[in-house]
């Protein structure tokens, strides 16, 4: 039975692949393939929990505002 583990969001990696095939008259056909997915191995992440056969719970935020930088900008442009 799996345990529940609180974890931070891990970092996903992508490696896009493509092929270029010459057709005719200097025209090429490009095929963009699916990405090879991976992740960065870090302690305390949802990936680590998954590979330890645990259920991860990761709180996320939808506000990407850089609050300290916003305060600096407010002082520069009141």
Residue 70 CA to residue 66 CA, distance in Å, equals 6
Structure tokens of 4? 């529940």
pTM recorded for the entire structure? 0.58
pLDDT for 47: 94
Q: What is the pLDDT of residues 17-58, one digit of tens each?
A: 888 999 998 899 998 887 778 899 999 999 999 999 999 999
């Amino acid at each position: 039975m799996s345990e529940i583990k609180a974890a931070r969001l891990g970092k996903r990696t992508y490696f896009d692949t493509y092929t270029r095939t010459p057709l005719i008259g200097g025209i090429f056909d490009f095929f963009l393939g699916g990405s090879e997915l991976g992740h960065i191995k870090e302690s305390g992440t949802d990936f680590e929990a998954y590979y330890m056969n645990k259920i991860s719970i990761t709180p996320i935020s939808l506000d990407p505002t850089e609050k300290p930088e916003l305060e600096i900008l407010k002082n520069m442009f009141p």
